[in-house]
Amino acid sequence: MKWKKASFGFIVFLAFLFFVADFITKAKPNLTQDLAEADSPEGCTVIMVAKNASTDGSTIATHTCDCGTCDWTWRHVPAADHKPGETRKIYHINQYKTWPPDEGLKWELYKKDFTGLEIPEVPRTFAYHHGMFGYMNEHQLAIGESTIGCVKKLVNSTPTPAFDITMLTLIAMERCRTAREAIKLMGSLAEKYGYGYNDHGEMLSVHDPNEVWVFEIMPVGPLWTPKSGKPGAVWCAQRVPDDHVSVCPNESRIGEIDLKNKDYFMASEHVVSFAAEQGLYDPKSGKPFSWKRAYSPVEGSAVSTNGRRARLWRFFNIVAPSLNLSPETPNMDFPFSVKPDQKISVQDVMNMTRDRAKGTQFDRVKGMRGGPFANPNYYGTTRTICSPTAEYTTVTQCRGWLPAAIGGIVWLSFGVQDTSCYMPLYAGITDVPSSFKVGDHWVFNRESARWAFDYVDFHTQVAYAPALEEVKKAQAKWEANTVASIDEIDKQALERYNKSVDEGIGYLTGFSLIHAENVVNAWWKLGDDLLVKFNKLSYYDPEKRTRDRNRPAYPDWWKKAIKIYDVLLEPAEK
């Protein structure tokens, strides 16, 4: 057999790999399905930056709402006054459930699932913005979420518990001014009325202009009822030191706790005794109590899970490379928080949400995985911070030196972070764009903002690397320039606010809505431009006006790989 210009040893090795792959595929037809399931663990990443760890003294946290099929719409809920004797109805709200658009919108239809519980209303409820969860209210109370799970025996999927995690965040938005207030309220309501049904173990980042907290909550098993006289939830909270940063990548982050140190820890009174009662902790062992090891233990490291649990290591690798933390470190052994090597800006955080572990051993485009155009969405077991299944991502920023209406910002991007754009929604605005309020995964809608960003992402996939460069130009114009000019927007708003609160609020609302509309329109145009530029998998440069096309340059290594593969398929010459 004539082997042409190829290394005999390398070709034999490739042949062996193709043989094994073919054998496994034939022996196990559902291999693709198994890989897909293995490649898609829970996906909400929360990055947290305390005030002295940020470049400007703000507290910052993120939430990647990463479901892939969930509702992505947003609402603004205005403040309201309530009369004595009024009550607040409590509903079950499933994070994942959606309805066809012709049946109505989620944030009306969920009210059909009334729990039967009504709690006393407060004299005044605060204004806030919410998507799948409550994200920021008019006092700069902000929240992000990450599902962390719990030991199976604690799961309570019965409808007996009145509260799930979404409802808890909405009540916190309505009633609380600070992170501490919110944690105590959510914990007490869950204990009194029960927590679970739609949710299991959950983590919330809860922050205000001064503090950043990690709040984690678990159900207490399927046999709990309000008549038992026992708490219907168990919870714990730990504060991120002011000069530290932390992260939650769907894993419990609170370890050993010191409830005597009230400046850094809060928990339900039965946090230790309940663990002992359930056989999750042995007080006689001599070992200190660890919240995560008792209630939500996770085995493995970035290396042992083949990158599926690499986000924890990767975050510390980005913010504190000087620590030289090994990817082989068991995830349960990582520190709760660290002091970053350099202070972190809000733009730095946005960039982190786009991280694909590039250049590390978990790089999703390493070797042939990304194809000729280095597309990280083709293949790979690494779960990166940037996720192709993101509904939207929030970067909540609280700034105590400004009035709350101006100081709080929800930076919101729709869809996949690397092809989207963060848009500012100030805490004090009285509405959100109409295009943010509608949309569904299964019905294309040009009136929905999310579809504009999916439209760009879809056309980026064709020739990912060169197309992404076009997206980055748009991000520089609409995102980076806005971040850089936000001080001027603040100044203009503050001047008006000091003359008239209503005038200041009006200015912020007008800016946020008009800017968002301009970004959405720009992304629709960007999607059209990408379609034209990379149509037929060739590149057209409209600026040169030559009315011809050049094929995207395939890298030499890809061309060689194709030739070697072709050799393997050729019959032997006689």
**What is the pLDDT at residue 1?**
37
Enclosing domain of residue 555: 8-37+538-569
Residue 162 lies in a domain: yes
**Span 441-476, pLDDT tens digits:** 999 999 999 999 999 999 999 999 999 999 999 999
Asked whether residue 32 falls in the same domain as residue 118, the answer is no
Q: Which two tokens stand for residue 162?
A: 């009145």
Asked whether residue 86 falls in the same domain as residue 12, the answer is no
Mean pLDDT computed over 371-379: 92
Asked whether residue 31 falls in the same domain as residue 164, the answer is no
Asked whether residue 290 falls in the same domain as residue 312, the answer is yes
From 287, 316, 344, give the residue that closes a domain: 344
- Band (pLDDT 50/70/90 cuts) for residue 573 is low
Residue 183 lies in a domain: yes
**pLDDT surpassing 90 at residue 347:** yes
**What is the pLDDT at residue 25?**
37
Q: Rounded CA gap, 317 and 323, in Å?
A: 8
**Span 133-165, pLDDT tens digits:** 999 999 999 999 999 999 999 999 999 999 999
Q: Rounded CA gap, 503 and 10, in Å?
A: 71
From 305, 321, 344, give the residue that closes a domain: 344
Residue 58 burial by Cβ neighbours in a 10 Å radius (0-12, 13-18, 19+)? buried
**What is the pLDDT at residue 301?**
97
Q: Which residue has the tokens 């051993």?
A: 361
Asked whether residue 296 falls in the same domain as residue 237, the answer is yes
Q: What are the CA-CA distances from residue 82 to residues 85, 115, 124, 130, 138 (Å)?
A: 9, 21, 6, 21, 18
Q: Which two tokens stand for residue 220?
A: 């207490």
Asked whether residue 98 falls in the same domain as residue 207, the answer is yes
Q: Rounded CA gap, 562 and 560, in Å?
A: 5
Asked whether residue 33 falls in the same domain as residue 82, the answer is no
**What is the pLDDT at residue 459?**
97
**pLDDT surpassing 60 at residue 32:** no
Weakest mean pLDDT among 23-37, 166-180, 246-260? 23-37
Asked whether residue 27 falls in the same domain as residue 136, the answer is no
Domain count, the chain: 2
- Band (pLDDT 50/70/90 cuts) for residue 11 is very low
- Band (pLDDT 50/70/90 cuts) for residue 5 is very low
**What is the pLDDT at residue 24?**
36
Asked whether residue 303 falls in the same domain as residue 216, the answer is yes
Asked whether residue 130 falls in the same domain as residue 64, the answer is yes
Specify which residues 527 forms β-bridges with. none
**Span 112-134, pLDDT tens digits:** 999 999 999 999 999 999 999 99
Residue 303 lies in a domain: yes
Residue 551 lies in a domain: yes
Residue 503 lies in a domain: no
From 344, 377, 393, give the residue that closes a domain: 344
Q: What would the 3-class secondary structure string for 122-156 be?
A: CCEECCEEECCCEEEECCCCEEEEEECCCCHHHCC
Mean pLDDT computed over 189-205: 97
